[in-house]
């Protein structure tokens, strides 16, 4: 029986988490990515209200976090997307297909009344697998 392995990941080049949490935690080759907002280097929301621009920034951060966890978008298992306007769904789906064509992770999209940051229109969390080591 294998022993559980837990590793906290904070990716270089991604704004530091704004709370007591890590960008991601790896347990037994599964990568659990915290909810990501489109933050600038000062921890403020980039492109307030612009879901497409924010999602592009979030995807950049997600790719950096996955790389720091020794995996990639091809290994995404599940994405959960929170939006303040359900009408942004088609724009976000198009961006995701443009960015990661052929990657069809399980997905949930939820409309919420507010997110943790003035002007935040999108937040995304994810689960990914790491490639087998042997």
Tell me the whole-structure pTM to 2 decimals: 0.93
Residue 56 has pLDDT above 60, yes or no: yes
Q: Which of 5-9, 112-116, 128-132 has the lowest mean pLDDT?
A: 128-132
Least confident of 29-33, 39-43, 63-67, 82-86: 39-43
Q: Is the pLDDT of residue 7 over 70?
A: yes
User: What structural domains and CATH numbers belong to the chain?
Assistant: 6-129 (3.30.1330.40)
> Who contacts 66 (Cβ-Cβ below 8 Å, separation ≥6)?
24, 31, 33, 72, 73, 75, 76, 128
């Amino acid at each position: 029986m294998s022993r559980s392995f837990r590793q906290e990941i904070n990716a270089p080049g991604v704004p530091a988490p704004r709370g007591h949490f890590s960008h991601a935690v790896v347990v037994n080759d599964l990568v659990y990515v915290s909810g990501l907002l489109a933050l600038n280097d000062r921890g403020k929301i980039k492109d307030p209200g612009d879901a497409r621009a924010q999602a592009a920034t979030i995807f950049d951060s997600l790719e950096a976090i996955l790389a720091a966890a020794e995996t990639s978008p091809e290994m995404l298992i599940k994405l959960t997307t929170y939006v303040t306007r359900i009408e942004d769904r088609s724009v976000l789906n198009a961006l995701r297909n443009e960015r990661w064509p052929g990657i069809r992770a399980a997905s949930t999209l939820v409309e919420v009344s507010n997110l943790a940051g003035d002007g935040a229109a999108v937040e995304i969390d994810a689960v990914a697998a790491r490639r087998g080591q042997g």
